[in-house]
Structure 1
Amino acid sequence: MDNLTNISITSSELKDGYGYDLPVYGLDNGLFYYLHVPALLCILCSFTCACTVIILSFRHKDYRKFFFWTKSERFAVYLAICDGGFNTFHSMDHMQYVITKDHVRPIELCQFYGFMLAEFVAAQILMVNVIAINAFILMVFKKKINFGKYDWRLLVWTFGLPFVGSTAVAVTGQLGPNRISCYFDGVKAEIASIAFTTVPLLLVLVVNIVLYGITLHRIKIETISLQLGLQRRHACDKSKRAATHMSMFVCAFFIQWGPLALTLAWTLISNERPFVFYHIVTVFSNIGGCFNLCIYLIIRHTNNQNRHKSNEHSQMDSNEINAITHAAALHPNPRKTSIC
């Protein structure tokens, strides 16, 4: 995300009251390409990783049984869709800036880019928040959240609510160019940007940190506990694995959006921001797909290991049963034979 600049200009400098009144960032100081070229490279890498997650997911699992996959596997796909959508439209506005060295025109196109970015950014924020809550409830209360048939509750909340919010800001003319991208208009949408991005992102980040900390603490307690029976231990291990996988998504969210959250918090205090802020936010906010791919590969590797161990245990149990059966066949009289 690059919605970082809100410049103060006098009413005499306003021409049409939109972000087009603001100069394109970097053209006057030679930093234009230092901002947009790294952003495009990060977006390309993230988009490639997001597509890889989706392809590998459906290649190794039956797509017809998608809603019977584990929650972690479904979350990986949903977040890959968020990253892929975000990368697609964010690359378009960055590319147009690079080609034209000007704001994205016409205004309708820029507003469309802004609408799609608002949709996918908000969807990802809500999705990761749901993941954090789900992991917390799973470990602390030992309950599973019911997302409804075909995950309809989850999808309505994470994609439907942002759609309604994005539509509201779009019809009120709050979307448009800022100095470096299309998102919330750099002139008209200062309050909307705070209400739609700054406050929700900071709030979700704080909530996720708290839930993440409690969840990890609970996982640690469960791991060192030696008072569980074998059957209970197996069920507990499954819950811990699921919570650990979901916690990784939350951790990746911190890395991806933490710099933007800190920058937005800085924006509330001062309008002066060092250029390094732009670089940090540009890099980390645009490589979410790479984080998601790493998490997906870890989950897949862990699941394969657990499946392999489960098969080994099943084979051992089968061999033990066969040995007992064979011994019983050799000594049919239980009074003469004792089997320990």
Structure 2
Amino acid sequence: MLAAYAAHLDAEDPLTGLVVGDRPDPEPRDGWSTVTVRAASLNHHDLWSLRGVGLRAEQLPMILGTDAVGTTDDGRAVVVHGVIGGDGSFPAEPRSLLSEKHQGTLAERVTVPTRNLVDLPDGLDVTDAACLPTAWLTAYRMLFRSAGLTPGQRVLVQGASGGLATAAITLAAAAGIEVVATSRSAAKREAALGLGAAHVLEPGARVPSRVDAVIESVGAATWSHSVRSVRPGGTIVVAGATSGDPTAAELTRIFFTEITVRGATMGSRDELVQLLAFMARTGVRPRVDTVLPLDRARDAFARLRSGEHVGKIVLTP
């Protein structure tokens, strides 16, 4: 079967290890189901994997990808939840994502635990649904569980163009939360307004008023601004550090103003069910930047790495 996989790892030039070619069909396993993939989306996790973060050379070759929508052998249309282990179904297995210990979704077929399958709601397109299980699910958890935001509150989203950021802007605006978004690009700030942001700023600019929570995935480049922008007693939710760890944690400001810092990674299967229902009932849809066939995965990865995209990049086997 055709797949996009990591053949070797390179921290400096990750795309050198990406191969698009034939891989063996997945082997049947008790308690697991094979899904014929109809659409799968890229995440920065895939680039980090190619750099060797969370993936070791002895695990290669590894098919990349954590998100997919497809059809089971008995004709069931499903969305794949990409978190394996760390719950009651696999209590002895530490939590991981597809493409870390088990082959991922950027392939014509993928095998996953049967309980990881969620029915695709009526009216939700496969391309849109393929964008949801990683970036959108993480944003959903960050906003509504980690930060506990409610209608009428304010949130700052650092960086306005990637899958996580566009998801956070769209979901928060749809829930009646006032969104402030930052980007170095004027075009991406304009795009954030189109997604529902109430205010857009250049990175580091003073927010109109301090926010109740910050969605932080950039790290060193935005951390100080996040700490200065949240109200006393507010929350900073961290789901990544694409620009590296901050050199200073600014602990004095954090303890003096009683700021809560929380981490977030993905979300539960139940939260994916809730997110899918939210999307189906409200008509909210993800911003899709590019849709390409699987055999053009290298072009898709190059666009992801360039940072020029706004929203999600989807591959269709």
TM-score w.r.t. the length of structure 2 is 0.24
- Which has the greater radius of gyration? 1
> Structure with the greater relative contact order (CA < 8 A, sep ≥ 6): 1 or 2?
1
- Bigger share in helix: 1
- Bigger share in strand: 2
